[in-house]
Homo-oligomer: A and B are copies of this chain.
Amino acid sequence: MKINGVHYRSIALNDDGWSVRIFDQRALPWELVHVQLTTLEQAARAIAEMWTRGAPMIAATAAYGLSLGLREDASDAALQKGYETLLATRPTAVNLRWALDEMLSAVKPYQGQARIDAAYKRAGEICDEDVEINRNIGLSGLPLLREMAKKKSGAPLNILTHCNAGWLATVDYGTISAPIYMAHDEGIDIHVWVDETRPRNQGALLTAYELQQHGVPHTVIADNAGGLLMQRGQVDLCLVGTDRVTRNGDVCNKIGTYLKALAAHDNNVPFYIALPYPTIDYSMESGDFIPIEERSAREVTHMSGRKADGSVEEFQITLSDGANPAFDITPARLVSGYITERGILKQVCNGESDEPIFMADVA
């Protein structure tokens, strides 16, 4: 990913070899704030308060968070406590638990400095693997975009996305953005409708920022607008990320995704999910069982913005109380396909076994 032309990852070790640099995504797009994480508690806070967010980035931050914790206390008790602290930060994404379990397996055989070294090694690998996964999601999705763009005979390919599943949500590339950037880079004319994504506005703030930095034409719209755009034929493809896909193919993603999937289905617009394969939780039968995070109502009743004088401030936008469920479930029946690093899946589960059915096998 590039910010003002400089290549960054969303999370990286500092030159000291142990402290961790993330961006405070709450300050974007107004300001690029580098944050140094030096303790497990900071990492936990950064996840819970959404300085950093997105299922893969939560996983990477938790992995380094556990490493930071072990650096202070490498005992079994501290390891277990740290695991639980980090696991409790956000309930919905499956990637968090996956990364913490990976870390646990990696460090358990060791004690003391060897344990700390093993932790940093595995955290680094988790990040590198995430980059490679996202790059391969891009390669899986690229032929689909090429194919769809051909049918537009010169007109821009209009993609609608919700929330942020770009590089800010991952270590690099992004799940939905990897194929978009690759297609854009090879000259395909792409335009992205960016759902604002209330209440935290990840679309208007983060996705729009990313696309701007990469030079991809895009337009921010109210979350309400996507239905009309699809009615009018102004959307060729919906492409969103996910925090967890269950065995039956149900998709948990940012609140509002389900509404767009319904509109896509009603207007014959393909609706694709881009995700790392490990986001599929084969242990969970359907979306009915996914815990839906209930976040603070203040995220609905207040928001931040930039004033005329350039400073950023929080302001109140209603006098009433709010409710703030953060995710919803898009039933598998509304999903056209799942773009993963292994290829595009038609179904995530092939009947009895946990093997997916690939789109190529269907065609």
Which residues in A have some Cβ–Cβ distance to B below 8 Å? 29-30, 193-194, 196-199, 201, 204-205, 208-209, 211-212, 218-229, 231, 254-256, 258-260, 262-263, 266, 292, 300-308, 313-325, 327-329
Contact = CB atoms under 8 A, between A and B. Distances in A.
Give the copy number: 2
A201 B262 contact: no
Contact of A255 (B228, B254, B301): B228
| Contact residues of A: prevailing secondary structure | mixed
A223 B224 contact: yes
A231 B328 contact: yes
A308 B307 CA distance: 13
Given A196-B198, A262-B262, A262-B266, A300 B222 contact: yes
Contacts of A198: 196, 198, 222-224
Contacts of A219: 320-323
Given A222-B199, A228-B329, A255-B224, A205 B263 contact: no
Contacts of A318: 29, 196, 201, 204-205, 208, 220
Nearest to A333: B266
Contacts of A256: 222-225, 227
A321 B201 CA distance: 14
Contact of A322 (B220, B223, B316): B220
Contacts of A320: 194, 204, 208-209, 211-212, 218-220
A301 to B, nearest CB: 7
A333 to B, nearest CB: 10
Given A307-B315, A323-B219, A292 B228 contact: yes
Contacts of A224: 197-199, 223, 254-256, 259, 328
Contacts of A321: 219-220
Given A223-B223, A228-B327, A209 B319 contact: yes
Contacts of A227: 255-256, 258-259, 262, 328
A323 B221 contact: yes
